[in-house]
Structure 1
Amino acid sequence: MDQPKPPKNKNTGLQNAAKLSGVGIQMGLTIYLGNLLGSWLDGKFETTYLEISITLAAIFLSMYSMIRQVNNLNK
């Protein structure tokens, strides 16, 4: 016979907020560093498109990371 599994300990709202408190800082830092890298590469290779391209990639990367973190909390 299978033993009943103990109920999952549900996180309270405060615990979830604590886990997600660094998401804004992480997103801002990722986007800032992407912009900084793109700006440096534009100066190094004398182009005008790398800053915009790398900043957009950093925005999508930070959004993907945020969505993954929120989905992992909901499991």
Structure 2
Amino acid sequence: MSRRCQLTGRQPGFGKSVSHSHVRTNRRWDPNVQTRRYWLPTEGRYLRLKLSTRAIKVVDRDGIEAVVARLRARGERI
């Protein structure tokens, strides 16, 4: 499963873990991506999106119709 938000584009960050002895190993910081299902009343169907928790707040604030219009304007297939 791709750990990428469909709305904000958030994806994993990469870096190093540094131990007490200062040995550096690779690690990654995954965004908190959730699969959410929204009802699209204009199309009469449910829509399944993979969104970060910040993007879920954007959908709550702006509404699913505005978010879908923004995604389609960007050229993303929904």
TM-based fold match above 0.5: no
Instruction: Give the number of the structure whose residues are more often strand, by fraction.
Output: 2
Alignment TM class, shorter chain as reference:
under 0.3
Instruction: Give the number of the structure whose residues are more often helix, by fraction.
Output: 1
TM (norm. structure 2) is 0.27
TM (norm. structure 1) is 0.28
For the pair shown, which has the larger CA radius of gyration, 1 or 2? 1
